[in-house]
Amino acid sequence: MKSTAPRVTHRVAVIGGDGIGPEVIAEALKVVRAGGVELDTTFFDLGGARYLRDGEVLSDDTLAALGEFDAILLGAVGTPGVPPGVIERGLLLKLRFSLDLYINQRPFTGTAPGHTQPHSFVVIRENTEGSYAGEGGVLRKGTVHEVATQGSVNTRFGVERCIRYAFELAAQRERKHVTLVHKTNVLTFAGDLWQRTFDAVATEFPQVGVAYNHVDAACIYFVQDPHRYDVIVTDNLFGDILTDLGGAVSGGIGLASSANLNPARTGPSLFEPVHGSAPDIAGKGVANPLAAILSAALMLDHLGESATADAIRAACNAPVSGSTIAVGDEICRRLQGNR
Residues that bind Mn ion (CB under 5 A): 240
The smaller minimum CB distance to Mn ion, of residues 70 and 240, is found at 240
- How do strand 103-110 and strand 119-126 relate by DSSP bridges? antiparallel
Closest chain position to Mn ion (CB): 240
The smaller minimum CB distance to ligand IPM, of residues 37 and 278, is found at 278
Task: Sheet with 103-110: list strands edge to edge.
Answer: 38-43, 9-17, 71-76, 269-273, 257-261, 103-110, 119-126, 231-234, 177-182, 209-214
Report residue 177: phi and psi, to 5°. -145, 135
Minimum distance from CB of 214 to ligand IPM (Å)?
21
Active site residue 240: yes
Query: Interface with ligand IPM by CB under 6 A: which residues?
Result: 88, 92, 240, 274
Residues listed for the chain: 339
The smaller minimum CB distance to ligand IPM, of residues 37 and 242, is found at 242
Active site residue 301: no
From 51, 132, 165, 229, active-site residue? 132
Minimum distance from CB of 274 to Mn ion (Å)?
6
The smaller minimum CB distance to Mn ion, of residues 27 and 240, is found at 240
Residue 92's binding partner out of ligand IPM, Mn ion, none, with CB under 5 to 8 Å set by partner kind: ligand IPM
Minimum distance from CB of 203 to ligand IPM (Å)?
31
Identify the CA nearest to 179 among candidates 153, 152, 217.
217
From 51, 183, 230, 235, active-site residue? 183
Rounded distance between C-alpha atoms, residue 185 and residue 308, angstroms: 44
Active site residue 216: yes
Residue 100's binding partner out of ligand IPM, Mn ion, none, with CB under 5 to 8 Å set by partner kind: none
Rounded distance between C-alpha atoms, residue 236 and residue 124, angstroms: 9
Alpha-carbon dihedral of residues 197, 199, 203, 205, nearest 10 degrees?
Answer: 80
321 contacts: CB under 8 Å, gap ≥ 6? 327
Question: Which residues are part of the catalytic machinery?
Answer: 132, 183, 216, 240, 244
